Amino acid sequence: LADGPLKGRHVLVTSGPTHEPIDPVRYIANRSSGAQGTAIAAALRDLGAQVTFVTGPATVPPPAGVQVVRVETAREMLAAVEAALPADAAVMTAAVADWRVANQNGQKMKKDGSGKAPALEFAENPDILASVSKGPTRPRLVIGFAAETEQVVDHATAKRVRKGCDWIVANDVSPATGIMGGTENAVVLISAAGAEAWPRMAKDQVAKKLADRIALALQNS
Ligand code: C5P
């Protein structure tokens, strides 16, 4: 482990999308690449933290020097997160699917020749961030993310309270910003103290700046 201000600290990071099965060969997913979560885990590692990296099926490889726990579904992610606690801080970057398929098929679904399409039913997934924030083994610092397309600060401020986390890293993912799928990010850090807009910078720089802030917060508490 690197020497640094987070030496001796355990930090949990979730990253990537989740896959929610329809049948043994099909799933529902989202477009998360895992890039921002991976950058954050690497930046925390570089400050000396012991990092547990719970990741869904991301397209970017996990960083070296962290403990990688691979999961598929939101419910598996929740179980892996609970198993990884306690931690000094948790950074929940994952794009967790809000719903899973309730009427999953045990076998591959087949066309039956009738021309009728099957109907999927959905059930709500657990909210991992809220569950950790309000759980019995709450890390001292819990950080969530919020991707918004309008009224970014208002929505993220409400989300911070609703989820019970300490900070929300909010960004505007409207197509015009070019942030989604791009290499840069412009975020607003929302805490109990208010909203702090960071200048637009590379996602790696956002990760470094956030890791520095986490180190500072853990030092001062
Ligand atoms: O409510 P929304 O999905 O916008 O909240 C985003 C934040 O909540 C992210 O930090 C994400 O990782 C977390 N989240 C979660 N479990 C869910 C949904 C979101 O941990 N089921």
pLDDT, tens digit, 9 for 90 and up, residues 53-66: 999 999 999 999 99
pLDDT value of position 176: 87
Task: State the helix-helix crossing angle for 35-46 and 203-219, rounded to 10 degrees.
Answer: 50
- Give residue 94's pLDDT: 97
How confident is the model at residue 220, as a pLDDT? 77
Average pLDDT over residues 182-207: 94
Strands (E), 3-160: 10-15, 20-23, 26-28, 50-55, 67-70, 89-92, 99-101, 122-124, 141-148
Instruction: Give, for ligand 1, the residue of 20, 73, 127 to mutate: max count of ligand atoms closer than 8 Å to Cβ.
Output: 127
d(CA 10, CA 139): 10
Nearest residue to 20 (alpha-carbon basis) of 145, 143, 120: 120
Peptide bond into 86 cis (omega under 30): yes
ipTM: 0.95
Q: What is the mean pLDDT of residues 99-125?
A: 95
Residue carrying structure tokens 């001796």:
8
Just list the catalytic residues. Answer: 30
Q: Per the CATH hierarchy, to which homologous superfamily does domain 10-102+121-219 belong?
A: CoaB-like (3.40.50.10300)
Residue ranges of domains in the chain:
10-102+121-219
Q: What is the mean pLDDT of residues 120-141?
A: 98
Ligand 1 centroid – CA 128 distance (Å) = 7
Per the model's pLDDT, the better-predicted residue between 49 and 184 turns out to be: 49
Please report the pLDDT score of residue 173 as a whole number: 86
Checking 187-196 for CB contacts under 8 A at 24+ apart, the result is 188/152, 188/153, 188/156, 189/213, 190/146, 190/153, 190/156, 190/157, 190/160, 191/160, 191/166, 191/167, 192/166, 195/153, 195/156, 195/157
CA of 131 to the centre of ligand 1 (A): 10
Q: What is the mean pLDDT of the chain?
A: 95
Instruction: Say how many CA atoms lie within 13 Å of 161 toward its Cβ.
Output: 8
* pLDDT given at position 123: 98
- Does 152 have pLDDT greater than 70? yes
pLDDT reading at 221 higher than 70: no
- Ligand 1: does its nearest atom lie under 6 Å from the Cβ of 129? yes
User: What does the CA dihedral 94, 51, 191, 137 come to, rounded to 10 degrees?
Assistant: 90
